[in-house]
């Protein structure tokens, strides 16, 4: 806890508060839609992915089968794959830590980790945010499921907007960098344009195409290493015992 500054800890606490509202609405939506209370609770413990949980429950409540719900959740969670590569350094080398870290990996824990530069701060941000969110999310889902239909229309309360608002607040500081802002805008345009034509979850993955030109531009900016003078071939040795001596003319009579 002492590794992170107060501002970062405050932001993590605010994210947990926002996710608690979303988790409560998820539990209430699932139960009021006709699912038993243990379903959203088990999903939160085993899956721990808000967007995927909402999508899977939406498919089931709309009449879809469990296979369609699972595939929808997998498609949405595929966005976490590049996040895993980006924060892999904080998980250590043991497979147990990697498995636990994979469960704690969320949009928020990845975002807070990427904001840190010091390795200790990155590790602290990931684990503090991940564990705190896991605890808060599951408690909130349980309370929402117990409340059931008492909450009523969660969309009318604006709880559905809390999750995307939190993510937007997290990424706004990074958009000050032009190299980050341009690919983000291209990816957003691609995702929005594809939304009417592709199933839910695929437009978000399509936004990753914006990273291709950004990666090429970064590779072009990388300077090529030119061999230094020490790697160049030595010139032919000059005549005479010393490098500064001039050769004596040949053929002169003394």
The answer on 128 and 82 residing in a single domain is: yes
List, for residues 84-130, the tens digit of each pLDDT value.
888 888 887 788 888 888 889 988 888 898 888 888 888 889 999 99
The per-residue pLDDT for 203 is 75
Q: What is the CA radius of gyration of the chain?
A: 28
Same domain? For 81 and 150 the reply is: yes
Residues 52 and 32 in one domain: yes
Residue 234 lies inside a defined structural domain of this protein: no
Instruction: Residue 217: give the domain boundaries.
Output: 177-223
- On whether both 139 and 188 belong to a single domain, the answer is no
Is residue 254, in this structure, part of any structural domain at all?
Answer: no
In terms of domains, do 41 and 126 share one?
yes
How far are the Cα atoms of 6, 22, 196, 239, 250 from residue 69, in angstroms, in the given order? 40, 20, 20, 84, 95
User: Long-range contacts made by residues 211-220, C-beta under 8 angstroms, separation at least 24?
Assistant: 211/183, 211/187, 213/183, 213/186, 214/179, 214/182, 214/183, 217/179, 218/179
Whether the full predicted model's pTM is greater than 0.75, yes or no, is: no
- The closest of 108, 109, 106, 88 to 97, measured between CA atoms, is 88
| b/e map 183-198, b = 16+ CB within 10 Å | bbebbeebbeeeeeee
CA distance 144 to 23: 7
Q: Are residues 167 and 184 in the same domain?
A: no
Domain boundary (157, 172, 187) is at: 172
The answer as to whether 239 is a domain residue is no
Angle at 111 between CA 105 and CA 112, to 5 degrees: 95
Per residue in 94-104, pLDDT tens?
A: 888 888 888 89
Provide the pLDDT for residue 23: 87
Among 114, 106, 108, residue whose Cα is nearest residue 87: 114
């Amino acid at each position: 806890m002492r590794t992170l500054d107060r501002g970062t800890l405050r932001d993590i606490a605010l994210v947990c508060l926002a996710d608690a509202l979303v988790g409560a609405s998820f539990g209430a939506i699932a139960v009021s839609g006709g699912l038993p209370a243990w379903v959203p609770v088990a999903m939160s413990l085993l899956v721990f992915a808000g967007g995927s949980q909402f999508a899977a429950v939406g498919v089931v409540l709309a009449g879809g089968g469990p296979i369609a719900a699972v595939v929808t959740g997998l498609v949405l969670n595929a966005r976490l794959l590049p996040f895993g590569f980006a924060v892999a350094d904080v998980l250590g080398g043991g497979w147990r830590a990697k498995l636990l870290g994979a469960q704690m990996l969320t949009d928020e824990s990845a975002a807070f980790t990427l904001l840190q530069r010091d390795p200790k701060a990155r590790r602290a941000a990931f684990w503090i945010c991940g564990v705190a969110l896991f605890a808060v999310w599951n408690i909130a889902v349980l309370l929402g499921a117990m409340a059931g239909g008492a909450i009523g229309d969660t969309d009318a309360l604006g709880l559905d907007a809390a999750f995307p608002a939190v993510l937007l607040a997290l990424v706004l500081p990074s958009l000050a960098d032009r190299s980050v802002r341009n690919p983000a805008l291209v990816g957003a345009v691609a995702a929005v344009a594809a939304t009417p034509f592709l199933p839910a979850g695929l437009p978000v993955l399509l936004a990753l195409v914006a990273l291709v030109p950004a990666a090429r531009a970064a590779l072009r900016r990388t300077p090529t290493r030119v061999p230094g003078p020490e790697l160049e071939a030595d010139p032919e040795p000059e005549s005479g015992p010393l490098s500064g001596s001039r050769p004596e003319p040949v053929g002169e009579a003394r």
